[in-house]
Amino acid sequence: FKRVGEIWYICFDGLKYQCRDSKALPDIRYLLDHVGQPVSIFHLPGNEGRGDRGTRAVDSTSLDNAKRIKSQIFQLEKRIGELGGSDDPADIMDRKEKVAERDALNKQYNENFDKYGNSRQLAGDASKAAETTKRRIGRFTKTLRNHVPGLADHLDAFLTIGSVCQYAPDRPIPWNLA
């Protein structure tokens, strides 16, 4: 599975196929070269310029913000619980303020993060990139099926394309990727 100039040379189960370069082929080659490893959709060559080359699939800044907000919510809930049984007017007022602050933080969290702490916008970007990548690899495997059907079946079975992609075959394949 290698490229020479604008031509790719593909051999699988004794069948050979040559084709012109397309965006799908470097993506497939990258995954074949990283067998068994989860790869961010933004690390694939066909997605250059989309996202931050992997940092967007799990954005550490947004994850840190999500953790910070969740920690603040936890602290507020703890304080609300401590104030809950008091009849002191100052404690009642403090409790109302803490409840309002907690509710505002919950609203902010739910608007900006999914349940895993990932930014909702970033997850959308990854989803769009994954859909595009699935389509281009699907078009390639459809064409490939006419020439090397075993490889098309193999790729369909063992390539996973999503916000995180992976090539995980059931047995080792000695690819020549030079």
134/53 same-domain check: yes
State the pTM of this model: 0.62
Phi, psi of 99 (to 5 degrees): -65, -45
Position 49 confidence tier, pLDDT thresholds 50, 70, 90: low
**Between 114 and 2, the higher pLDDT residue:** 2
- Do 31 and 9 belong to one domain? yes
45 and 7 in a common domain? yes
- Shared domain for 50 and 83, answered yes or no, is no
pLDDT at position 67: 80
* Residue-averaged pLDDT of the chain: 86
Nearest to 124 by CA among 36, 34, 51, 37: 51
- 8 A C-beta contact, residue 94 and residue 83: yes
* Distance in angstroms (rounded) separating the CA atoms of residues 168 and 10: 19
Same domain, yes or no: 53 and 134:
yes
Looking at the structure, tell me whether residues 9 and 94 fall in a common domain: no
- In this predicted structure, the answer to whether residue 1 has a pLDDT above a threshold of 80 is yes
Q: Are residues 19 and 104 located together in one domain of the fold? A: no
**CA–CA dist 149, 144 (Å, integer):** 6
- Establish if 123 belongs to a structural domain: no
Verify that 93 and 64 share a domain, yes or no: yes
State yes or no: pLDDT of 62 exceeds 70.
no
User: What's the mean pLDDT in 7-18?
Assistant: 95
Domain annotation covers residue 124: no
How many domains does the structure of the chain reveal? 2
Average pLDDT of span 79-93: 90
pLDDT-derived band at 166, boundaries 50, 70, 90 = very high
What per-residue confidence (pLDDT) applies to 58?
A: 44
Q: CA 76, CA 132: separation in Å to the nearest integer?
A: 43
Is residue 121 domain-resident?
no
Question: Are residues 76 and 30 both part of a single domain?
Answer: no
Give yes or no: residues 12 and 48 share one domain.
Answer: yes
Residues 28 and 71 in one domain: no
Give yes or no for a contact between 76 and 101, defined as CB atoms under 8 angstroms apart. yes
pLDDT reported for residue 55: 40
Which range among 21-30, 35-44, 62-71, 131-140 shows the weakest confidence by mean pLDDT? Answer: 62-71
Q: Does residue 120 belong to any structural domain of this protein? A: no
Domain hosting 28: range is 2-57+130-167
